[in-house]
């Protein structure tokens, strides 16, 4: 199956089987490289990003643990996702991600590095920051919610309400060697707080007590 055919099928299924709303899509640059940084609570997150109405050429970094999952493995291969081994420093995957951005495409990535099993944000990891600093691509945060438990509701024809809310694009200033580790953590927290600010507060999890989340909320329309 061709990638475009799969995309059309996924869009049809999302429209038919769910009540999904894409909010703030005007924040996604219409062209050029962009990193779309998302939370990750469900297997549905990847298909939902794949079906976004703004950047159909989007690729995504996906953990290799999904390779042996029948549907997801097939789906990600057909969607031309980039497999990344989260257990090692996977330089090959990062080079492939860098190449996607060089080709002026959109790249989806979860800074948490893995799916949350508690339906709340987990601590972010610095991989997204390192990629953004290397490529100087803008970052668009997106909060996805309603996906927890949605698969079982789909199978019982309940049409779950799913929301993807995209925030304003931003870039990270370059950093030098001095205080590098501290700044990497600060930038990682900034990305995660921007994701949290887009979501209802019951999803904030690890970032619940971070004052930056409410500060960012006050700047959103």
Domain that holds residue 189: 3-217
Calculate mean pLDDT across residues 163-172: 98
Distance CA 217, CA 193 (A): 10
How many whole angstroms separate alpha carbon 131 and alpha carbon 11?
A: 29
End-to-end CA distance of the chain: 40
Whether pLDDT at 185 is above 80: yes
Q: Write out pLDDT tens, residues 5-48.
A: 999 999 999 999 999 999 999 999 999 999 999 999 999 999 99
1 versus 21: which is more confidently predicted? 21
Number of domains in the chain: 1
Give the mean pLDDT of 177-202: 95
Residue 141: give its domain's CATH number. Answer: 3.40.1130.10
pLDDT at position 55 = 96
Nearby residues of 23 by Cβ (< 8 Å), 6 or more positions away: 163, 164, 165, 166
Q: Is the model's pLDDT at 201 over the cut of 90? A: yes
Asked whether 56 and 7 are in contact (CB, 8 A), the reply is yes
Angle between helices 127-135 and 180-197 (to 10 degrees): 100
Give residue 71's pLDDT band: very low, low, confident or very high (50, 70, 90). Answer: confident
- Report the 3 state secondary structure along 52-75: CCCCCCCEEEEEHHHCCCHHHHHH
Question: Residue 100 pLDDT more than 80?
Answer: yes
User: Predicted confidence band at 65 (pLDDT cuts at 50, 70, 90)?
Assistant: confident
Phi-psi region of 58 (alpha: psi -120 to 50; beta: other; left: phi over 0): beta
DSSP code of 119? S
Q: pLDDT (tens digit, 9 = 90+) per residue, 138-148?
A: 999 999 999 99
**pLDDT tens readout for residues 128-165:** 999 999 999 999 999 999 999 899 899 888 999 999 99
Instruction: Tell me if 75 sits within 8 A of 62, measured CB to CB.
Output: no
């Amino acid at each position: 199956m061709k990638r475009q055919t799969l995309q059309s099928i996924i869009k049809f299924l999302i429209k038919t089987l769910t009540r999904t709303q894409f909010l703030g899509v005007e924040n996604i640059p219409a062209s050029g490289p962009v990193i779309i940084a998302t939370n990750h609570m469900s297997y549905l997150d990847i298909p939902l990003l794949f079906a976004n109405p703004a950047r159909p050429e989007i690729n995504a970094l996906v953990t290799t643990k999904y390779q042996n999952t029948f549907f997801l493995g097939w789906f990600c291969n057909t969607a031309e996702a980039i497999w990344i081994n989260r257990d090692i420093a996977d330089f090959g995957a990062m080079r492939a991600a860098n190449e996607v951005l060089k080709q002026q495409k959109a790249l989806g990535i979860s800074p948490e590095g893995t799916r949350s099993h508690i339906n709340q944000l987990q601590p972010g990891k610095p991989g997204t920051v390192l990629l953004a600093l290397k490529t100087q691509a803008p970052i668009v945060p997106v909060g996805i919610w309603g996906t927890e438990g949605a698969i079982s509701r789909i199978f019982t024809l309940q049409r779950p309400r799913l929301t993807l809310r995209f925030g304003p694009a931003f870039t990270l200033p370059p950093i030098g060697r001095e205080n590098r580790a501290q700044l990497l953590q600060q930038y990682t927290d900034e990305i995660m707080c921007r994701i949290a600010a887009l979501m209802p507060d019951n999803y904030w999890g690890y970032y619940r007590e971070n004052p930056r989340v409410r500060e960012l909320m006050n700047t959103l329309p």
